[in-house]
């Protein structure tokens, strides 16, 4: 297999649009979330010709609004779902060690105990099982029993009047949007043809068999017929809508569940570790994120707009109330500096459907010859789900295809990362950056760091901070446009960086600078740049208004 350039930009998009109309592909993937890009990489790495179309940006739906955790799911042990936990832990270890060590990082969590003997025995047995289920690869430390005194030293904000001791264990975290985009680029490296801003209008059939789809290029408004031997739809919460649009009766339907999170400053909670709190409904995580904490999540039925789900006042109240069961001083509503919500696609299967394969939390379905769809599951197990979806699609190709190779296929930036981490002082000196910023770059780009910094050799201003108070530099914004398929301000601030919820002004102070980059490197005119800035301002204004409403209104919860 020839290796392609992994860059995604306006030039590669133009080439992709041309290829979509002229080629027949083995596999066409609909959807650019974590499942869609995982499927594209799995199929491309087997030697299949692959195309992927996405109506928005990579991870612009659920895949950028997760809890940012790569974990086995400690709570699933209580449901005796050992197979799911083992599978997720195996995937976690692969990501931390082999697949994406530059993006997926171990993170410690405290599990506070409220009772001295019975609870410690019960939870301790669960922790031991959680560690044992991960198998022979053990990149993360074993859990530890902690005394009340030790818990207090690690997390002075935990209330000693209700906590008798605890456990420390490890899971991992990830910038979900960056990880998703990096997998898309890896798929491109192995030959996948990828185009965002392309919406599926209808399927093309020959008799009952699906032989492709009609897509609309949302930039040029051109309609293109894309031919493929097998089409795989990975559209998450949009699955029911698209099945209906395509005139298909699927073997499952999707129920939406909203998971909300709040963001508070680091100063709001005094702890050197994340915290997990068992609630009546599920669990709540207090997750370290740079100079902030992400706290969540909720799990509530949702039937409103799929486009921009928002955290409600009740969501915020629930998260604060549950956190305050163990925190002192207590979190206050006026400390909440941000909130976001994502939608989980929970699958409900039709037991009478002969086409559906139920695999724990996700479903692979084939409602028509030449067409496969997948929904549900956990972010952590995206690779396993992708493999199963491609296996099903291969049945429609009617030829022998190699098995999946993704278990040991590192994504771009992973190669040599562990060596570069040891060379941070040298890299800082070489590039004229402080060590904290070099570490930040390595943890976002890995071995692609030289590619990111190359333009700074000609323009040293690219080494300057992009925004006050955060570690991003201007070179990262340029790189997002030239290599990471960023086409608008929202792409740059909400997903290529996380400035939208990390900066106090959500990045509004730098939209002018980013607009100049878009004008210069994408060829946008001033009206198009102005529209992009205005659209981002609208998004932030809506989020801020909602945050004011959610943090000031009295809630029925608690």
Question: Rounded to an integer, what is the distance from CA 28 to the centroid of its chain?
Answer: 22
Confidence (pLDDT) at 353: 55
Contact 343, 62 (CB under 8 A): yes
Asked whether the CA dihedral 238, 249, 363, 384 is positive or negative, the reply is negative
Q: Which DSSP category does 6 fall into? A: -
**What is the C-alpha to C-alpha distance for residues 143 and 1, in angstroms, rounded to an integer?**
43
**What is the C-alpha to C-alpha distance for residues 552 and 530, in angstroms, rounded to an integer?**
32
Q: Return all residues near 8 (Cβ < 8 A) that are at least 6 apart.
A: 184, 185, 188, 194, 483, 484, 485
Q: Read off the tokens for 247.
A: 């005139």
Confidence (pLDDT) at 360: 45
Q: At residue 537, what are phi and psi to the nearest 5 degrees?
A: -60, -40
Q: Homologous superfamily of 417-551 in CATH? A: Alpha-glycerophosphate oxidase, cap domain (1.10.8.870)
Q: Which DSSP category does 114 fall into? A: S
Confidence (pLDDT) at 358: 42
Extents of the domains making up the chain: 10-63+178-251+350-408, 90-173+255-344, 417-551
| pTM for the whole structure | 0.94
**What is the C-alpha to C-alpha distance for residues 210 and 365, in angstroms, rounded to an integer?**
14
**What is the C-alpha to C-alpha distance for residues 224 and 211, in angstroms, rounded to an integer?**
14
Q: Read off the tokens for 52.
A: 């992927």
Give the CA-trace dihedral at 100, 447, 441, 453, to 10 degrees. Answer: -150
Q: Read off the tokens for 9.
A: 């930009």
Contact 220, 239 (CB under 8 A): no
- Residues in the chain, how many? 558
**What is the C-alpha to C-alpha distance for residues 524 and 506, in angstroms, rounded to an integer?**
23
Which 3 state secondary structure label does DSSP give 57? coil
Task: Tell me the per-residue pLDDT of 246-290, one tens digit each, with 9 for 90 and over.
Answer: 999 998 999 899 999 999 999 999 999 999 998 887 889 999 999
Ordered per-residue pLDDT tens for the chain, 558 residues: 445 689 999 999 999 999 999 999 999 999 999 999 999 999 999 999 999 999 999 999 999 999 999 998 877 777 777 888 889 999 999 999 999 999 999 999 999 998 888 888 888 888 888 888 877 667 888 999 999 999 999 999 999 999 999 999 999 999 999 999 999 999 999 999 999 999 999 999 999 999 999 999 999 999 999 999 999 999 999 999 999 999 999 989 998 999 999 999 999 999 999 999 988 878 899 999 999 999 999 988 898 889 889 999 999 999 999 999 999 999 999 999 999 999 999 898 766 655 444 444 899 999 999 999 999 999 999 999 999 999 999 999 989 999 999 999 999 999 999 999 999 999 999 999 999 999 999 999 999 999 999 999 999 999 999 999 999 999 999 999 999 999 999 999 999 999 999 999 999 999 999 999 999 999 999 999 999 999 999 999 999 999 998 888 554 444
Q: Read off the tokens for 526.
A: 């001033």
Class of the 90-173+255-344 domain? alpha beta
Burial of residue 476, with CB atoms counted within 10 A of its CB: 0-12 exposed, 13-18 middle, 19 or more buried? buried
Contact 514, 500 (CB under 8 A): no
Looking at domain 10-63+178-251+350-408, does it have CATH number 3.40.50.720? no
CA distances from 26 to 125, 139, 212, 227, 405 (A): 48, 37, 10, 9, 17
């Amino acid at each position: 297999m020839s290796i392609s350039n992994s860059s995604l930009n306006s030039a590669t998009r133009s080439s992709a649009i041309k290829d979509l109309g002229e080629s027949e592909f083995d596999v066409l993937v609909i959807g650019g979330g974590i499942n869609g890009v995982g499927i594209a990489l799995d199929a491309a790495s087997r030697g299949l010709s692959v195309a992927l179309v996405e109506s928005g940006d990579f991870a612009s739906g659920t895949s950028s609004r997760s809890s940012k955790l790569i974990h086995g799911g400690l709570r699933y042990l209580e449901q005796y779902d050992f197979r799911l936990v083992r599978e997720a832990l195996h995937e976690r270890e692969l990501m931390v060690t082999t697949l994406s060590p530059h993006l997926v990082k171990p993170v410690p969590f405290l599990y506070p105990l409220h009772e001295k003997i019975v609870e410690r025995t019960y939870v301790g047995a669960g922790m031991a099982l959680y560690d044992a289920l991960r198998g022979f690869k053990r990149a993360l430390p074993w859990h530890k029993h902690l005394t009340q005194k030790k818990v207090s030293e690690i997390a002075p904000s935990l209330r000693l009047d209700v906590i008798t001791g605890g456990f420390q264990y490890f899971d991992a975290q990830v910038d979900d949007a960056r990880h998703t985009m990096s997998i898309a680029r890896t798929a491109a490296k192995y030959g996948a043809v990828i185009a965002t801003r392309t919406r599926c209008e209808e399927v093309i059939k020959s008799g009952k068999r699906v032989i492709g789809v009609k897509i609309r290029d949302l930039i040029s408004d051109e309609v293109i017929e894309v031919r493929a031997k097998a089409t795989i739809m990975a559209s998450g919460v949009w699955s029911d809508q698209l099945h209906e649009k395509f005139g298909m009766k699927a073997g499952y339907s999707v129920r939406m569940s909203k998971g909300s999170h709040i963001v508070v400053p680091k100063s709001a909670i005094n702890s050197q570790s994340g915290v997990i709190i068992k609630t009546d409904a599920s669990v709540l995580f207090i997750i370290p994120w740079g100079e902030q904490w992400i706290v969540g999540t909720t799990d509530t039925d949702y039937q409103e707009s799929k486009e921009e789900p928002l955290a409600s006042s009740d969501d915020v109240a629930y998260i604060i109330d549950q956190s305050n069961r163990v925190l002192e001083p207590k979190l206050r509503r006026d400390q909440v500096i941000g909130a976001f919500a994502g939608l989980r696609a929970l699958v409900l299967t039709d037991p009478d459907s002969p086409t559906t394969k139920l695999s724990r939390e996700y479903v692979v379905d084939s409602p028509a010859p030449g067409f496969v769809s997948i929904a549900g599951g956990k972010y952590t197990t995206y690779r396993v789900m992708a493999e199963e979806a491609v296996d099903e699609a291969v049945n429609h190709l009617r030829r022998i295809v190699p098995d999946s190779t993704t278990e040991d296929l590192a994504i771009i930036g992973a190669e040599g990362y562990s060596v570069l981490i040891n060379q941070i002082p040298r890299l800082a000196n070489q590039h004229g950056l402080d060590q904290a910023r070099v570490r930040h770059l390595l943890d976002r780009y890995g071995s692609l760091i030289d590619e990111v910094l190359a333009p700074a050799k000609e323009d040293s201003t690219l080494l300057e901070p992009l925004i006050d108070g955060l570690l991003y530099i201007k070179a990262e914004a340029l790189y997002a446009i030239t290599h990471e398929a960023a086409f608008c301000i929202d792409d740059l601030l909400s997903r290529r960086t996380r400035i939208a919820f990390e900066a106090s002004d959500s990045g509004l102070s730098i939209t002018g600078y980013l607009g100049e980059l878009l004008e210069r490197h994408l060829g946008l005119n001033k009206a198009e740049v102005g529209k992009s800035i205005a659209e981002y301002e609208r998004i932030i204004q809506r989020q801020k208004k909602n945050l004011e409403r959610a943090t000031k209104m009295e809630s029925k919860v608690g």
